[in-house]
């Protein structure tokens, strides 16, 4: 036997003397799939809504004008800046107004001194008259001088109030918190009484203007309930509806004002939103939004039959105020569907939808 044959035989003997291979592990039984929550679709009496497009506008929007003359020396804010209520938005020179206030203060001091002198004189004449030393005419003259001095003092006090008010007009403050929309003057300009200075609006108080056609105004007027659907999909119940008593003769529509509750909703004046007005009640098949499976522009639900979930395409309407979605076609009352189409659908083996009607 050759050397190669001996080496091969030796290798076989060594391999035969080794340990036997370990047996394969027994297969582990898979855990049963959990049961998914289901719900039975039943007709529900719910509010029906009619939707219109609306434009957001600010309730508080105003242009602040100058109430005195002067030169603009300070403009702390520019267009787009947020201004708190009471903050200084324009400052004017006040040299003339301060001088007038100082002159009015001096005039009031003089008038009060004359009034004190007239009062003392009246008291002296009154004492002399009571002793029979002076005639009644002297007492009447002293009383007239006292009344005249009192009137001059009152006029001087009013002049001081007016002068101080004019001096205060040189510092213009924001009437409410809001956003600067337009600045009508620049630093260094000389302005007069009534000159527009700055325009601003408040984002805390908003409303939506909706043009409602005449054939829809009847149900809206009887229910007076609506909600505003914001651009991000949230809806906010309107705090107030203002419906005019008459329509526009040119468009034959009603300009309805829908007021939002105070707050920040991320909506800005001029943006387009939807307003859903309650127009009545009707029976609807309502399902939670989680029960719907959306694939592009197609919407479906998982219908339960014989322990299997079958995907069926349906046609749906717009979500209501509570978030539930009405089913318009594709499903019958009494059928059972999965409550969670995304999480519960893969648990069951899918098959053709039994008795499915095309939506």
Mean pLDDT in order along the chain per 10 residues (359 residues):
43 43 43 60 77 90 90 91 91 84 89 90 88 85 90 91 86 90 91 91 89 88 87 84 89 91 82 87 77 79 78 78 76 77 57 45
The span from the CA of 259 to the CA of 51, in Å, is 16
Is there a domain that residue 356 lies in?
no
Please answer whether residues 59 and 206 qualify as being in contact, where contact means their C-beta atoms are separated by less than 8 angstroms. yes
pLDDT of residue 348: 53
Whether 161 and 104 map to the same domain: the answer is yes
Residue 119 is part of a domain; what is its CATH number?
Answer: 1.10.287
Domain membership flag for residue 316: yes
Domain endpoint, select from 280, 304, 331? 280
Task: Answer whether residue 210 is part of any domain.
Answer: yes
Q: Which pLDDT belongs to residue 333?
A: 79
Cβ pair 353, 310 in contact under 8 A: yes
Q: What is the DSSP letter of 290?
A: G
Last residue of a domain, one of 251, 280, 309: 280
pLDDT of residue 158: 92
At residue 78, the 3 state secondary structure works out as: coil
Q: In terms of Cα–Cα distance, which of 216, 182, 179, 208 is closest to 197?
A: 182
* Predicted pLDDT at 8: 45
DSSP 345: G
Is there a single domain that holds both residue 182 and residue 206?
A: no
Phi/psi for 167 (5° steps) reads -65, -35
| Domain edge (last residue) among 182, 200, 218 | 200
Same domain, 81 and 174: yes
Place of tokens 């069951």: 348
- Give whole-number Cα distances, 334 to 37, 114, 195, 262, 281, in Å: 16, 97, 70, 43, 21
Instruction: Say yes or no: 293 and 326 in one domain.
Output: yes
pTM of the model: 0.58
Tell me, yes or no, whether 140 lies in a domain: yes
Q: Let me know if residue 10 belongs to a domain.
A: no
Cβ atoms of 167 and 97 closer than 8 Å: yes
Same domain for 126 and 98, yes or no, is: yes
Cα–Cα distance for residue pair 310/349, rounded to 1 Å: 8
265 and 218 assigned to the same domain: yes
Do residues 192 and 74 share a domain?
A: yes
Q: Check whether residue 184 and residue 122 sit in a common domain.
A: no
Helix (H) or strand (E) holding 226: strand 226-229
Residue 93: closest CA among 173, 189, 174, 180:
189
Domain membership flag for residue 295: yes
Place of tokens 């929550």: 37
157 and 98 share one domain: yes
- Per the structure, the complete domain to which residue 77 belongs is given by 66-92+170-200
In a domain, 174, yes or no: yes
246 lies in a domain? yes
Rounded to whole angstroms, how far apart are CA atoms 152 and 332? 90
Whose CA is closest to 90, among 78, 76, 79, 80? 76
184 and 230 in a single domain? The answer is no
From residue 162, alpha-carbon distances to 58, 168, 213, 326, 338 in Å are 34, 10, 52, 66, 76
Residue 16, pLDDT score:
44
Q: Do 104 and 163 touch, CB atoms closer than 8 A? A: yes
Q: Specify the CATH number for the domain of residue 181.
A: 2.40.50.100
CATH number of domain containing 299: 2.40.420.20
What is residue 346's predicted lDDT score, i.e. its pLDDT? 56
Residue 88 burial (C-beta neighbours within 10 Å; 0-12, 13-18, 19+)? middle
CA–CA distance, 153 with 102 (Å, rounded to integer):
16
Q: Are both 188 and 164 inside the same structural domain? A: no
The total number of structural domains that make up the chain: 4
110 and 228 in a single domain? The answer is no
265-283: string of b/e by CB count within 10 Å (b at 16+)?
bebebeeebbbbbbbeeee
CATH value at residue 255: 2.40.30.170
């Amino acid at each position: 036997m050759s050397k190669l044959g001996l080496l091969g035989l030796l290798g076989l003997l060594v391999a035969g003397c080794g340990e036997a291979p370990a047996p394969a592990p027994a297969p582990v039984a898979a855990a049963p799939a959990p049961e998914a929550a289901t719900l039975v679709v039943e007709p529900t009496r719910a509010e029906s809504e009619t939707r219109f497009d609306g434009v957001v506008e600010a309730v508080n929007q105003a242009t602040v004008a100058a109430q005195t003359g002067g030169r603009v020396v300070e403009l702390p804010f520019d267009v787009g800046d947020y201004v708190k209520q009471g903050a200084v938005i324009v400052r004017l020179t006040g040299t003339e107004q301060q001088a007038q206030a100082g002159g009015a203060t001096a005039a009031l001091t003089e008038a009060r001194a004359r009034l004190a002198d007239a009062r003392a004189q009246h008291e002296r004449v009154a004492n002399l008259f009571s002793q029979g030393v002076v005639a009644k005419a002297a007492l009447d003259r002293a009383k007239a001088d006292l009344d005249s001095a009192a009137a001059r003092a009152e006029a001087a006090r009013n002049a001081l109030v007016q002068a101080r008010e004019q001096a205060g007009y040189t510092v213009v403050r924001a009437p409410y918190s809001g956003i600067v929309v337009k600045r009508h003057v620049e630093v260094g300009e000389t302005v007069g009484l009534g000159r527009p200075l700055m325009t601003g609006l408040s984002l805390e108080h908003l409303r939506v203007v909706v043009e409602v056609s005449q054939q829809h105004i009847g149900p809206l007027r009887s229910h007076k309930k609506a909600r505003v659907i914001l651009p991000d999909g949230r809806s906010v119940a309107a705090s107030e509806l203002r419906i005019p008593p008459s329509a526009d003769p040119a468009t034959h529509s009603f300009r309805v004002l829908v007021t939002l509750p105070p707050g920040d909703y991320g909506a800005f004046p001029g943006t387009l939103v939807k307003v859903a007005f309650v127009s009545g009640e009707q029976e609807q098949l309502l399902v939670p939004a989680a029960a719907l499976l959306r694939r592009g522009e197609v919407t479906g639900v998982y219908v339960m039959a014989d322990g299997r979930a079958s995907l069926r395409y349906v046609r749906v309407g717009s979500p209501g105020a509570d978030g539930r979605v009405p089913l318009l076609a594709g499903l019958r009352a009494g059928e059972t569907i999965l409550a969670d189409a995304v999480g519960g659908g893969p648990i069951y083996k899918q098959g053709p939808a039994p008795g499915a009607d095309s939506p």
